[in-house]
Each structure stands twice: as structure tokens, then as C-alpha cells.
Amino acid sequence: MAANVRIKDQWQEQRLFEQRAVVAGGVIAALSVLLLARLVTLQVVRHDYYTELSQGNRVRIEPLPAPRGLILDRNGTVIAENRPAYQLELVREEVPDLAATLQRLEAIGLIPEDDLDDARKLVASHRSFDSVPIRLRLDDEQIATFAVHRFEFPGVDIRTRLARSYPYGELAVHALGYVGAISEQDLGRIDRAAYAGTSLIGKLGVEAAYEKELHGQNGSREILVNAQGRSVQRQGALVPNLRTVAPVAGEDLLLAMDLGVQKVAEDELGARRGAVVAIDPSNGDVIALVSRPGFDPNTFGRGITRVEYKALLDNIDRPLFDRALRGTYPSGSTIKPAIALAGLVYGAAKPTEHRFCAGVYRLPGSSRMFREGRSGRHGSVDLEDAIARSCDVYFYDLANRLGVDHIASFLAPFGFGSVTGIDISGEKPGLLPSREWKRKAFSRPQDQIWFPGETVNFGIGQGYFLVTPLQLAHYTSILANQGTSYKPRLVSGLRDPVTGAVRRFPPEKGAQISTATPEQWHIVMEGMAGALRGRGTAAATAGRNMTYDIAGKTGTAQVFSVGQTEKYNEKMVPERLRDHSWFIAFAPAEAPRIAVAVLVENGGFGSTGAAPIARKVMDAWLLKGGGT
């Protein structure tokens, strides 16, 4: 039987092909219409929108840091300014390998090896598109080195910035403070947008306290970049219209400080450790604030290395430590004028009553001896003479009569045991002891008892009582004003950098001591004036050849206790265990224009160590035009 044969239907196949062709043509036509419509949308309808987006791919917004405000002394001398400097900056999103890039920069000597970890953390703490400074103040050799290797570092470039400069070096450094690189901790408390492009921030002193006023408002500008992120003038025939928002400079700080007086104080203190604080009693202006030794703030502004910072930290003289605000010491005999005034107010002392100083004082019913100071014995003395000649025996007895409660409550309004409120941070409150304080300070019941001997020591500024040099200067200004106090201030006003308009800050009054009568104040002032005359403790040093009247008080603060049967011999004591030297004074005595406190650590007796420095400071202010 023959096999079935299928005959091919060519017409059917032709019709099927034509149908498919029509469908395919329709699909192609529809897609072509859609493509055309999309092209019209992109190129015509939304042309401006996509032009702006494409511009963003080659136009980068770069922040323009505002110039930091200047700092000037009371006479207009610039003591902190801005100078152009070159720094190395990195944009993380443009860097292919951050770790390798930093290692390579270290290899060519642009980043110290010890700073690699800090640089890595700093970059990581910023946004990926931020330009982060990783090396401040490049010198000519470093700039040339980077220029040779620039092609190896995409995302890294040299920027021109304004860097902080202190033309007088370490002069007044603890008052001014310094600026340093913005750290991770700083980023946690500042507005990052406001600090975009800013590499430095105030760290201490007025630089930190007035950071908001000094910083200003940053601006911005658009720059044209190529595919590598480098800025170019044009791309092809297109020259875009780039916008710029100008920065607004920070306000200038006008200090109450007199740079000439400050320099005299620092020069006179020299290489010795110590502090000098001078205040205008009429308004609280801080004329000079010295802590020695100091350091050069320019080191921090250019980017201090770990080795340099460690050297400062390890220095036995502690140059970073602000002795004027943070150093706490026994006041020594400088507290005696206030004790004398308390005695008059509470009726424990009478101006004309004489007491005999035999060189030793014993508490009633006790065999313990409290010895007189350097002079040994004074014989019969009244209140004024006891202040002028600094008779310890007189004040041992007066303190015992007053009692610790009266002494503590009377001294508190003078600012002891609390901060003065000066307009920079870091101030210590010192320690004003009392029965209540001792109960809280010690855990064992037997240690919480206040003993009469502690009151006796309190009367001459020894024992638990601790003060700062700033507190003593503040206290001296209150004595000068006979009870009126003003909050100490370093900054007296602000100046607009554009218009030059000055905004002055009014003085801020503190507590008023109104318990003493004018007659009682006069008696104490006469005692202090007597310290600079005749047989007074400072007559031979600060009182010599006076052309104006000075009221002052010397003080010697023990660093360690001497046994009752032992005698203090300065020559046999190691230098750092010798007594601290104090001197406080105000002048002219009849109409005070300056109040000074001087501390010389381990400087011995106040009349020889600190008093001559105070005299030089007062001369610089009163005789050279500063106090007019």
C-alpha cells in the first residue's frame, strides 16, 4: 500500500508570514514612536531639568571658609591674626583606596607615621563628599613633593586657606588659648554644615570661649571639574555660569588686656613657675593674665605632632597647665586683711588693742605650739601693725576667737570656694573649708571632726584653705573697692570687621560686701599700706622709691609641714619643696586703678620672690600710660 504524501500549502505559509510581518512592523513602529516621544521629552520638554543635572556631574560646590575674627588688646595691637597657608585635603568619595593613599602620602613624607591612624579616623568621621584637611600648613618642600606626585593621588589636592597666626608666640597664650584641627569630639557638638571647609576650631582661652563670634559664616562657590575631580576652567566649548556666595568674616575680639603690661609681667616672672593676674578694680577688666611656663600656640595651629605633644605633656614644669585659673595653693598671709576685717565686723578685734607676740602661740589648754614666721617675734602689735608686719601670732589668736564658721561665712562673698566667673573656661573654685565641708569630705567619723588647731592654721592661710591666683586678684580688687566686686573679664567688646562698629560689654557687678563700715575698711587699708612703708614686710622691695601709694600684703605658703621642734631652712630644702611666694597689692591706695596678685612657685618669702614683680607690673600700668 502506498505511503500517504503531504502536499505543502505555499499559500498558507505566505499568509502566515505576512501576518507575522505586519505584527512585527506594528511593534517596531510602536516602539519607534515611544522612543521618539521619549527623545522629545528628554531633549525638548525637560531639557532645562536634565541640563541642570548634567551640570551637577561636572560642577562641584566648594565651601569658602570665613576669615576668623582678629583678637586685639585694649590698645588695638593685633595678637591673633590670619595668614595664607597651604594644606593637604582629601575627598573620600574620589579616593579609590583610602588606606593605600594615606600610606603612600606617608611614604613620600607628607604625613607623619604617628599621625596615620588619626588621619584615617578624621576622614572617616566626615561625610564622603567633604574635603577633609589631613595636613596643615605645608612648607615649600612639601608642596613641591606633592606637585611631582600629584597624578598618583586622585581625590587629594592642595588648598589655599587662611591659617591662624600668633605674632607674639607664647605671650599671653593661656589667656588667648589656641586653635587646633577639628577632632571627632568637636564634630559631635558643632554644626557640620556651618564648619564645611573649616579645618581649625578654638580649643582653649578666648579662642574657645568666643568661638561662635570668631568663626563667622562660611560661603561657597561652584567650580568646574573633570572626570578625575580636578578643577578646570572650561570643558569643550562650554563655559558654565558658576555661582559664588561670599563668606562673612567673624567678629574681632577686643580684649581688656594691655599687651605691654602682659609682657612686663611675663618678662619679670621669666623662667620661674608661677602666675600673675592684674585687674582693673573699677570694672573687672583683666589687664594681664600670666601663667608660666607657656608654649607656642602656633605649634597647634600648624598641626602638632604626637612627639611634640608628648614632649609638652611630659615636661615636669607643665607648660600646658594654666596656673592662673587652675592652680590651687594655700593663700599664706595674703588672707590676713580679710581675717582682720572679719575680726572688726564680728567684734573679735579692736583697732587699738595690743597683743604681745613672743614668737609662739599656744591654744588654751593645749601644749601644741604654733610658731611665728620668718621674723621670729614682733612684741606688742595692734591690728594695723599686725597686717603691715604680718604677725602670725596675732592672727592665730584672732582666728581662734572668730571660729571657723565666722571665717568661712565672711570669706565666701570675696569669691573663695567658688569660681569668679571669668569669661573663659577651666577655672577651679579652690577650697573654702568649714565644718560642713569636712563632714562631707571625709568618710571616717574621726576625720570629720573640725579641730581648733585647724582654725588657727586657717587664720594665716594654711591648712585646707586653697585659692587660685585669679581668685586672689579678684579678692584684692574687692579690697581696693572696699566691698564692691566685678566679674573678671578678658573680652571687653566686639568689632564688626566690615563697618568697624564696636559693641562694648558693660561691666557685670558681683556680690557686695556691706557688713563692714567705712571706718573698718580704712583700718585694714592702712594696715596694707603699712606693709609697703617703714618696717612693713614689702617696704624694702615693692615699697622702695614709690611715686604713688601702694597697699599690699605679702604671703608665704608652705609646701610641706615642718615639725614643731624643727626649723625651716630654705637652703637645705629641695627647690620644688620650698615655700610658694605670694604678693597682692592695689594702687594708687587712695583711688585704686589696678589690683595685682603674683605667685612664684617655690619662690620663698613673698617680699623677695613675688613683690618686686608686682611693683614692675603696677609701674607699667600706672606710669606708662596704661592706667590713664
* Ranges 198-207, 367-376, 562-571: which has the least confidence: 562-571
- On the question of pLDDT at 419 being above 80, the answer is yes
pLDDT band at 385 (very low <50, low <70, confident <90, very high): very high
- On the question of pLDDT at 562 being above 60, the answer is no
Assess whether 606 and 464 both reside in one domain: yes
- On the question of pLDDT at 477 being above 90, the answer is yes
Parallel, antiparallel or unpaired: strands 200-202 and 491-495: unpaired
Chain mean position to CA 156 = 33
- Residue 111 has a pLDDT of 87
pLDDT band at 235 (very low <50, low <70, confident <90, very high): low
Residue that is last in its domain, among 131, 149, 167:
149
- With respect to residue 54, please indicate whether it lies within any of the assigned structural domains: no
- On the question of pLDDT at 226 being above 70, the answer is no
- Residue 329 has a pLDDT of 96
Chain segment 317-326, per-residue pLDDT in tens: 999 999 999 9
523 closest CA partner among 619, 330, 386: 386
- On the question of pLDDT at 565 being above 70, the answer is no
Q: What is the number of structural domains in the chain? A: 2
Tell me phi and psi for residue 154, to 5 degrees.
Answer: -65, 140
Residue that is last in its domain, among 103, 119, 149:
149
Placement of cell 500500500 in the chain: 1
Contact between 319 and 294 under an 8 Å Cβ cutoff? The reply is yes
Q: What percent of the chain has pLDDT over 70?
A: 91
More confident residue, 51 or 501: 501
Contact between 86 and 159 under an 8 Å Cβ cutoff? The reply is yes
- Residue 73 has a pLDDT of 96
- With respect to residue 212, please indicate whether it lies within any of the assigned structural domains: no
C-alpha distance from residue 134 to each of 118, 122, 309, 359, 504 (Å)? 9, 8, 17, 66, 39
Contact between 554 and 606 under an 8 Å Cβ cutoff? The reply is yes
Residue that is last in its domain, among 113, 129, 149:
149
| Residues constituting the chain | 628
- Residue 8 has a pLDDT of 67
Assess whether 267 and 137 both reside in one domain: no
Assess whether 331 and 470 both reside in one domain: yes
- On the question of pLDDT at 369 being above 80, the answer is yes
- With respect to residue 124, please indicate whether it lies within any of the assigned structural domains: yes
For residues 130 and 192, give the distance between their C-alpha atoms in angstroms, rounded to a whole number: 10
Chain segment 29-83, per-residue pLDDT in tens: 888 998 888 888 877 887 776 665 555 556 677 788 889 999 999 999 999 999 9
Count CB neighbours of 612 within 10 A.
18
Assess whether 131 and 264 both reside in one domain: no
Assess whether 263 and 129 both reside in one domain: no
For residues 440 and 427, give the distance between their C-alpha atoms in angstroms, rounded to a whole number: 23
- With respect to residue 157, please indicate whether it lies within any of the assigned structural domains: no
For residues 125 and 181, give the distance between their C-alpha atoms in angstroms, rounded to a whole number: 13
Contact between 161 and 85 under an 8 Å Cβ cutoff? The reply is yes
- With respect to residue 590, please indicate whether it lies within any of the assigned structural domains: yes
* Ranges 305-314, 340-349, 435-444, 571-580: which has the least confidence: 571-580
- Over residues 578-591, the mean pLDDT reads 93
Longest dimension (CA), the chain: 163
Q: Which of 131, 291, 331, 333 is catalytic?
A: 333
- With respect to residue 223, please indicate whether it lies within any of the assigned structural domains: no
More confident residue, 112 or 619: 619
HEC-encoded secondary structure of 231-259 = ECCCECCECCCCCEECCECCCEEEECCCH
* Ranges 56-70, 420-434, 522-536: which has the least confidence: 56-70
- Residue 626 has a pLDDT of 58
Mean pLDDT of the chain: 88
SS3 category, 315: coil
- With respect to residue 188, please indicate whether it lies within any of the assigned structural domains: no
Assess whether 264 and 123 both reside in one domain: no
Q: State yes or no: is 514 an active-site residue.
A: no
Assess whether 263 and 138 both reside in one domain: no
CATH number at residue 446: 3.40.710.10
Range of the domain at 366: 259-562+570-622
Single-letter amino acid, residue 599: L
- With respect to residue 558, please indicate whether it lies within any of the assigned structural domains: yes
* Per-residue buried b or exposed e for 250-276, using 16+ beta carbons within 10 Å of the residue's own CB: bbbbbbbbbbbbbbbbbebbeebbbbb
Assess whether 134 and 271 both reside in one domain: no
- Residue 203 has a pLDDT of 92
Assess whether 266 and 126 both reside in one domain: no
- Residue 364 has a pLDDT of 86
- On the question of pLDDT at 237 being above 90, the answer is no
